[in-house]
Every structure is written in structure tokens, then in C-alpha cells.
Amino acid sequence: MPWINVEMALLRLAFRLREFMGEDIEKVKLTIDKLKVKNR
């Protein structure tokens, strides 16, 4: 699966989680960036 599809899926999941948890979108972006670095 191309990385861009994984990233889009993560973003959709993050937005959905944010609605439930009231998470700040910047925190969500930072978390995704950390995952990206880990998976490189």
C-alpha cells in the first residue's frame, strides 16, 4: 500500500478520534509525524 494512502487513513482516523476526545489537531499532527519518523 502506498504511504500516501496510509497517511490519509491515519488523518481520517485522527479527525474521527478528535471528535470523541476533543484533541487539539496540532497534537494529532505531531503524533502522526512521530509515527512517520518511527516507520521510516
Q: Which of 18, 1, 3, 2 is nearest to 31 (CA)?
A: 18
pTM of the predicted model as reported, rounded to 2 decimal places: 0.39
Instruction: Give the model's pLDDT for residue 33.
Output: 87
User: What's the domain count of the chain?
Assistant: 1
**Amino acid 15: pLDDT:** 81
Residues found in the chain: 40
Contacts of 18 (CB under 8 A, 6+ apart): 25, 28
Give, for all 40 residues of the chain, the pLDDT tens digit.
Answer: 577 888 889 889 888 877 766 656 778 788 888 888 887 6
Q: Residue 4: its pLDDT value, please? A: 81
Segments forming the whole domain that contains residue 31: 3-39
Rounded alpha-carbon distances, angstroms, from residue 26 to 1, 2, 22, 29 = 26, 24, 12, 5
pLDDT score, position 23: 59
